[in-house]
Amino acid sequence: MSQADLVRYELDGGIAILTLNRPEKRNALSAPLVEALHDAITRAQAEARAAVICGEGEHFSAGLDLAEHAKRSPIEGVHHSRRWHEIFDRMEGGPIPFFAALQGAVVGGGLELAASVQVRVADETAFFALPEGTRGIFVGGGGSVRVARLMGVARMTDMMLTGRSISAERAEAWNLCQYVVPKGQARAHAVELARKAAGNAAMSNYAIINALPRIQDMARGDGLFVESFVSAMTAAAPEAEERLRAFVEKRAAKVARPDA
Ligand code: 1HE
């Protein structure tokens, strides 16, 4: 299998769908697969308005390729981890929103990858774990920052020390995913959500993806100050003017009530 085949790429009506395609190894994230993911992310960011990452087979991803990692020296391990950071950072802070569709194992580096996208949709077969402690290693794909922020340090410490797996339902309660859907429906639901996001003004999406996380890193007063500027800049885009006028002239949809 060539490197490009390790991540299947489709473009469907402006939505890029990136499928981790190594099901025989449970989509373990080998170096060639991560490079293929990088290329697919770059392509999606150039031509799509939103993207979905999913995994072929019964599992989203079994995380780091342990067979490959066993052969790395410490300095090779540092470079390897920094390369994951670079690629995941580029996706997290890029021009378009990414959605993840999760089923089966969302484990170790698979959870770190999922934590780098904006919205996670799990089906009820999904289970989440951080077995790094049992493997004698540590998170290296950004988990100590991203996963800890999503669910909190105490829960992450517990998962890493005990190697426990948690269900999709608990993962939603713990903020590791935002949606839980019936078995087999994660991808379709993630695509549907991506389509909604793709319909937003590009400038709004850019601000949501890039300003919101940065503001969380700022002191309160700095965050509020920056918010005012991002807000004014976003509203100054011609697309915003037209959208505001459309609502006033009753051409735009009203906000819907929540589903029952
Ligand atoms: C792998 C990997 C892998 C499977 N690296 N080859 N991740 C883990 O500790 C998870 C390890 N994997 C598992 O616990 C299980 O494979 C699963 C629960 C995910 C799936 O179980 P199952 O029964 O469906 O599959 P399997 O029979 O265990 O695996 C099928 C094949 O995939 C088998 O290879 P084969 O040649 O014997 O067929 C497995 O060896 C292979 N495989 N997972 C390499 N991870 C940047 S730091 C991040 C740190 C981490 O990610 S730590 C977490 C590592």
Going by pLDDT thresholds of 50, 70 and 90, the confidence category of residue 130 is: very high
Does any ligand 1 atom lie closer than 6 A to the CB of residue 105? yes
For every residue of the chain, DSSP letters joined together read --GGGGEEEEEETTEEEEEE--GGGTT-B-HHHHHHHHHHHHHHHHH-SEEEEEESSS-SB--B-HHHHTT--HHHHHHHHHHHHHHHHHHHTSSS-EEEEE-SEEETHHHHHHTTSSEEEEETT-EEE-THHHHT----SSTTTHHHHHH-HHHHHHHHHH--EEEHHHHHHTTS-SEEESTT-HHHHHHHHHHHHHTS-HHHHHHHHHHHHHHHTS-HHHHHHHHHHHHHHHHHSHHHHHHHHHHHTT-SPPPPPPP-
Whole-number average pLDDT of the chain: 97
Q: What pLDDT, on a 0 to 100 scale, did the predictor assign at position 3?
A: 87
What is the pTM for the complete model shown? 0.97
Indicate whether 22 pLDDT > 70. Answer: yes
For the question of residue 132 being annotated catalytic, the response is yes
Kindly tell me if the per-residue pLDDT of 259 is higher than 90.
Answer: no
For residue 112, indicate whether it is catalytic: yes
Among candidate residues 132, 169, 172, 227, the one labeled active-site is 132
- Ligand 1, atom nearest to 25 Cα: 32
* Pocket flag, ligand 1, residue 65 (CB < 6 Å): yes
| In the predicted structure, residue 260 carries a pLDDT above the cut 80 | no
Q: pLDDT tens digit string along 169-192?
A: 999 999 999 999 999 999 999 999
49-86 residue pLDDT tens: 999 999 999 999 999 999 999 999 999 999 999 999 99
What is the mean predicted confidence (pLDDT) over 236-255?
Answer: 95
Q: How far is the CA of 87 from the centre of ligand 1 (A)?
A: 22
Verify whether ligand 1 is closer than 6 Å to residue 80 (CB atom). no
Residue 1: pLDDT band (50, 70, 90) is confident
**For residues 232-250, average pLDDT:** 95
Q: Is 132 in the pocket of ligand 1 (CB under 6 A)?
A: yes
Minimal-distance CA residue to ligand 1 atom 23: 26
- What does the pLDDT read at residue 39? 98
